[in-house]
């Protein structure tokens, strides 16, 4: 989950300090025909181009069952998705169906933007991980059926490891092992323009949310920020030191060429990423056999952030019966298995995750499942998550780049974050 990722960074969203101010949307028309048939023209918005192939198949199968329904999809890149959604909400013009993540669910649900789904036909909530069901439950109402979930692991290029003369990652490797490996590769392959690691630092899920917890810190707990705790500061310093040593590209370099592209073009030997990237790497890597997956390295403890996505129904939809019928269809085991077989996402329906692992048998896909069961930590959220996500986005680059002292930045971030949390 994505994710929360893909689904993974929250680079854009509701304006800082501003919550949705609309009144609850109107009830809309029921889209059940007089003869009981499901009818209506639905709009469906999501952000991941990699998942379009599965969504198109879902729609085709659903329309076979309900030929008087049409579904038009719209893909908006993640960096613009939440801004566009906010504009649509303020204009009372939300899509009938759209993807939702944990950081935004309370904000949209509590402002009457979403339709409760407790009356969905053919949906048993115990078919999904309870933590994900709880994530999309607000004031005892279900607003989303878990679609998938994601954890984070290390993708590594064995060819580059061999060229640098370093050993492949072990299951029990540590921060020290990781940083030594990354620095050794960067030094050995410097003339080829290869870095030891390139990982997205525009949002926390791929990078620092994991290392903060691995260091024994936390992002948010009991309504308070953990950024000013010594352990959390250590988790931020992890990335600053990788950039300072040259083991990682600078933030500017990773803004120009995304870390996943660096990895695909063999200019980075490692990258931290989640289950959402599997299908892209399977398609774009020049040789899949040169790549494998390792668990995240251990700091003071093991940790990997877990998140998941859902599809929600707009409260103002004029086609609620059709929209709910499609969500119910997506909730079934068959659709989760379809996404798993395509390697699109790690499905949330209990018992289907092994199929996702089998989608790329040449890789150690079990690393994602083991993280979920053995040492996953929840994606950090609050009612107005985006407010303090914006503070992270504004301040942490100064720490990662070394422009300011890490401790100083983290303490300022904690103060701003706590002020925002108190006003929720």
- 381-417 pLDDT tens trace: 888 898 999 999 999 999 999 999 999 999 999 999 9
Query: Is the pLDDT confidence value at 344 over 90?
Result: no
On the question of a cis peptide bond just before residue 192, with omega within 30 degrees of 0, the verdict is no
DSSP run (H or E) holding 98: strand 97-100
**Section 59-65 average pLDDT:** 97
Using CA of residue 256, residue 259, residue 261, residue 262, what is the dihedral sign?
Answer: positive
| Of the listed ranges 12-21, 201-210, 298-307, 352-361, the one predicted with least confidence | 12-21
**Section 204-220 average pLDDT:** 97
User: CA-CA distance, 248 to 419, in Å (whole number)?
Assistant: 33
**Section 34-38 average pLDDT:** 67
**Section 217-235 average pLDDT:** 97
**Section 207-227 average pLDDT:** 97
321 and 40 Cβ atoms separated by less than 8 Å: yes
pTM over 0.85: no
Query: Is the pLDDT confidence value at 55 over 80?
Result: yes
**Residue 36: predicted pLDDT:** 64
Q: Residue 117 region, left (φ>0) first, then alpha (ψ -120 to 50), else beta? A: alpha
Tokens 């390697």 -> residue: 343
| Of the listed ranges 16-25, 137-146, 351-360, the one predicted with least confidence | 16-25
Q: Which among 241, 228, 239, 243 is positioned nearest to 407, based on CA atoms?
A: 228
Query: Is the pLDDT confidence value at 113 over 50?
Result: yes
For the domain made up of 40-150+307-364, the CATH class stated in words is: alpha beta
Query: What residue ranges do the domains of the chain occupy?
Result: 40-150+307-364, 151-305+379-422
Q: Which two tokens stand for residue 204?
A: 């926390």
**Residue 31: predicted pLDDT:** 52
| Domains 40-150+307-364 and 151-305+379-422 belong to one CATH topology | yes
Top-confidence residue, 141 or 345: 141
To the nearest whole number, what is the mean pLDDT of the chain? Answer: 91
pLDDT interval class at 130 (50, 70, 90): confident
| Of the listed ranges 20-34, 51-65, 373-387, the one predicted with least confidence | 20-34
User: CA-CA distance, 240 to 331, in Å (whole number)?
Assistant: 41
pLDDT interval class at 32 (50, 70, 90): low
**Residue 294: predicted pLDDT:** 98
Q: Residue-wise over 177-187: b if at least 16 C-beta within 10 A, else e?
A: bbbebbbbbbe
Top-confidence residue, 324 or 36: 324
- 283-325 pLDDT tens trace: 999 999 999 999 999 999 999 998 999 999 999 999 999 999 9
- 78-109 pLDDT tens trace: 989 999 999 999 999 999 999 999 999 999 99
pLDDT interval class at 4 (50, 70, 90): very low
**Residue 424: predicted pLDDT:** 87
Query: Is the pLDDT confidence value at 63 over 50?
Result: yes
Top-confidence residue, 243 or 23: 243
Query: Is the pLDDT confidence value at 3 over 80?
Result: no
Strands lying side by side in the sheet with 40-46 = 69-75, 40-46, 97-100, 310-313, 145-146
Query: Is the pLDDT confidence value at 371 over 70?
Result: yes
Query: 151-305+379-422 — its CATH code?
Result: 3.40.190.10
**Section 29-37 average pLDDT:** 55
């Amino acid at each position: 989950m994505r994710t929360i990722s893909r689904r993974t960074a929250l680079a854009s969203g509701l304006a800082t300090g501003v919550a949705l101010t609309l009144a609850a949307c109107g009830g809309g028309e029921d889209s059940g025909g007089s003869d009981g048939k499901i009818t209506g023209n639905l709009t469906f918005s999501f952000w991941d181009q990699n998942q379009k192939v599965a969504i198109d198949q879902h729609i085709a199968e659903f329309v076979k069952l309900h030929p008087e329904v049409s579904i038009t999809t719209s893909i908006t890149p993640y960096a613009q998705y939440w801004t566009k959604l906010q504009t649509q909400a303020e204009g009372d013009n939300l899509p009938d169906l759209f993807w939702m993540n944990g950081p935004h669910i309370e904000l949209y649900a509590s402002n009457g933007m979403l339709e409760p789904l407790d009356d969905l036909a053919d949906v048993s909530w115990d078919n999904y991980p309870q933590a994900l069901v709880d994530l999309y439950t607000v004031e005892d109402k279900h607003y989303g059926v878990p679609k998938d979930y994601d954890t984070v692991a290390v993708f590594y290029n064995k060819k580059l490891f061999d060229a640098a003369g370093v050993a492949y990652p072990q299951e029990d490797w540590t921060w020290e092992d990781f940083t030594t490996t990354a620095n050794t590769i960067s030094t050995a392959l410097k003339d080829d323009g290869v870095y030891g690691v390139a990982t997205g630092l525009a949002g926390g899920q791929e990078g620092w949310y994991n290392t903060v917890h691995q260091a024994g810190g936390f992002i948010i707990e009991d309504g308070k920020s953990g950024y000013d705790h010594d352990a959390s500061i250590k988790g931020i310093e992890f990335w600053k030191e990788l950039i300072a040593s040259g083991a990682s590209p600078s933030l500017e370099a990773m803004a120009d060429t995304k870390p996943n592209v660096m990895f695909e073009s063999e200019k980075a030997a490692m990258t931290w990423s989640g289950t959402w990237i599997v299908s892209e790497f399977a398609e774009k890597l020049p040789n899949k056999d040169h790549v494998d997956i390792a668990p995240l390295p251990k700091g003071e403890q093991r940790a990997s952030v877990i998140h998941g996505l859902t599809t929600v129904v707009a409260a103002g939809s004029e086609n609620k019966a059709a929209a709910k019928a499609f969500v119910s269809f997506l909730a079934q085991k068959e659709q989760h298995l379809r996404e798993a077989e395509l390697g699109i996402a790690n499905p949330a329906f209990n018992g289907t995750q092994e199929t996702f692992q089998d989608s790329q048998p040449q890789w150690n896909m079990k690393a994602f499942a083991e993280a979920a069961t053995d040492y996953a930590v929840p994606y950090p959220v609050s009612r107005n998550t985006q407010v303090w996500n914006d503070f992270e986005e504004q301040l942490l680059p100064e720490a990662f780049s070394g422009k300011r002292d890490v401790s100083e930045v983290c303490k300022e971030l904690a103060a701003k974050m706590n002020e925002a949390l108190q006003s929720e």
